[in-house]
Amino acid sequence: MPLGAATKQPFGHYSLCRRDPEQCRVEPGPAASPAALDLPLMRLVAGINRDVNRSIAPESDQALYGVEERWTLPTLSRGDCEDYALLKRRRLHDAGVPYGDLLMTVVRKRDGTGHAILTLRTQAGDFVLDNLDDRVRPWAEVPYRFIKRQSSTDPARWVEIETDAEPIVSALSR
C-alpha cells in the first residue's frame, strides 16, 4: 500500500485515544518489520475476521450512543464498521500480532460513503479485514478508494494513502 504524508487522524479515533489511551500507545522497543505471512497467521486472522463479523450485529453509532461518530470496542454485540475493526485489532493483538501490523484504515466504498476496515501489514503485503466480507483479501483486490491509515510506528498518527496508486480490482473479481 503506497503511503504518503502525515494527515489528521479521524475525529472518532482521536476521541478513542483520549478515552482509552491504551488504544494509541506506542509499543516499546524498536519498530518491527511486518509479520511473516504463514499458514498459522492466516488461519488466525481468517478465524478472527469471520468470528467477529458473525458476533456483532450492525448498528449505527446514532442508534447506539445518540451521536454521529463514536469509535469504541463493542460491548453490546452491536456496532458499526470501526467497532468491528477495533475488536478484530484487539483480538489479534491478544493472540500475539503486534499493533504495528494491525492498522485502522479509512476508505470510501463505491457509493462514496466512508468506511473503516482493519489492515494487516505483512511481509507479503497488506491485507484487508472487513465487516462486509468474511474473506481476508489483499488490499489491491478490494473495491474501495483508500484514504488514510494509522502509522505502523505510532497508532495515534495517521498517514495518507496515495490516491494516484489506487488499487485496480482484478478482472477476475469483476
What is the rounded average pLDDT for all residues in the chain?
Answer: 89
> Can you give the pLDDT at residue 17?
93
Phi-psi region of 96 (alpha: psi -120 to 50; beta: other; left: phi over 0): left
Q: Which residues pair with 120 in a beta bridge?
A: 102, 127
Q: Are 34 and 101 in contact (CB under 8 A)?
A: yes
- The Cα 169–Cα 143 span in angstroms is 6
The CATH fold of domain 3-173 = C8orf32 fold (3.10.620)
Q: Are strands 78-79 and 57-58 parallel, antiparallel or unpaired?
A: parallel
Instruction: For the chain, state the CA radius of gyration.
Output: 15
Q: What is the mean pLDDT of each run of 10 residues along the chain (174 residues)?
A: 92 93 81 85 97 94 90 88 96 94 96 96 95 95 95 92 55 32
pLDDT of residue 31: 67
Residue 48: which H helix or E strand, with range? helix 39-55
Distance CA 8, CA 47 (A): 32
Residue 155 grid cell: 497508532
